[in-house]
Amino acid sequence: ETGVTQTPRHLVMGMTNKKSLKCEQHLGHNAMYWYKQSAKKPLELMFVYSLEERVENNSVPSRFSPECPNSSHLFLHLHTLQPEDSALYLCASSQGGGVDTQYFGPGTRLTVL
């Protein structure tokens, strides 16, 4: 088991709903990430936080809003999503930056109706 947990594990929401995904890491790491994994596509990096500061945002639509209140917690706030946003959302953490091993959470399987 990794030291990264995610809740909920599954989420079904309508396009007008607002929901949040939560990630928590128990590894004492300084960097946290949100990824999107869709079928037959590579993992897409959405956001990177290092020491609670956002360092990268890969041009993600504003309907996805991240929040990193401290180095152990990361949220992804969702509002007015589209059906094409249905995917597996993975959180990861690493000790430092990109060359460090990233440890992934189990993911949240999101379905947008």
Partner 1 sequence: RKEVEQDPGPFNVPEGATVAFNCTYSNSASQSFFWYRQDCRKEPKLLMSVYSSGNEDGRFTAQLNRASQYISLLIRDSKLSDSATYLCVVNYFGNEKLTFGTGTRLTIIP
Check residue 15 for interaction with partner 1 (CB under 8 A).
Answer: no
**Residue 1: exposure state from Cβ atoms within 10 A (0-12, 13-18, ≥19):** exposed
Q: Is the Cβ of residue 17 or residue 30 nearer to partner 1 in the bound state?
A: 30
Site for partner 1 in 27-46 (CB under 8 A): 31, 40-43, 45
Identify the CA nearest to 6 among candidates 111, 101, 104.
104
Member of 3, 8, 14, 97 binding partner 1 (CB under 8 A): 97
Which SS3 state, helix, strand or coil, does residue 84 take? helix
d(CA 93, CA 104): 7
Q: Is the Cβ of residue 37 or residue 65 nearer to partner 1 in the bound state?
A: 37
- Cβ–Cβ < 8 Å for 91, 104: yes
Stretch that binds partner 1, among 13-21, 60-68, 70-78, 100-108 (CB under 8 A): 100-108
Check residue 10 for interaction with partner 1 (CB under 8 A).
Answer: no
